[in-house]
A = this chain, B = another copy of it.
Amino acid sequence: MSATQPLSHTRADEAFDCLQTAIITGELAPGEKIGELELCSRFNLTRGPLREALGRLESRGLLVRRPHAGVKVVSVSAEELMELYRIREVMEGLAARQAAERMTDQEIRDLQATLDSHEKMIDEAQGQAYYQAEGDYDFHHRIATGSRNAKLAQMLLGDLYYMVRMYRYRLSTSAGRPHRALGEHRHIVEAIAQRDGELAEFLMKRHINAARQNIEEKIQEGVLTI
């Protein structure tokens, strides 16, 4: 994978990473009320760092805490997932526009290379699940950072993507449309390479909107359940 040697130099960071991945993978079920002591024994932590991590996770909306009543993992609904995609649509549209204006030529070449490797993986067939999961994440990650908008990148990478990945695990998706998505990615990169911010924004919004509709249909057909 691209990033994350979780090399957390402090116990609280470690706790944060552990809990976050546990929530995303579903190891901690949504709606589950979980005690601090149990979390401590489960992840070999003490309560101090744990509480600090809980604070961070709460402020990111991955869990809720009622005073003296414990923490529970945030429960997720299909409607909320759709709302998430609506937010992504406008924010990543902005990211694409700013990326078109600000990415370096080298970054754009890297982005194109990324897509080439994705294509290879898809053609070698077995990589479809991978592509949908991490490859897609990689693509959007690069554009978010390429926007040179620190707060925007922080909100996308630090908040929204984790939520989306949480749903991905739950849906055990890979119910994707890799070829179509790859084509859409190519068009977006083309627009960025031509420094056409307006077009990049338009294409990105349409891309995410299509992904949203795809999931929505799958859910209504009962192919995917939450």
Contacts and interface: CB of A to CB of B under 8 A. Distances in A.
Interface of A: 9-10, 12, 48, 51-56, 58-61, 67, 80, 83-84, 86-87, 89-91, 93-94, 98, 149-152, 154-155, 158-160, 163
Counted per complex, copies of this chain come to 2
Q: Point out which of A93, A155, A163 has the most chain B C-beta atoms below 10 A from its C-beta.
A: A155
A164 B10 CA distance: 31
B149 A83 contact: yes
The secondary-structure label for the interface of chain A is: helix
Given A56-B59, A80-B151, A150-B80, A90 B94 contact: yes
Contact of A61 (B84, B151, B163): B151
Contacts of A159: 155
Contacts of A12: 55
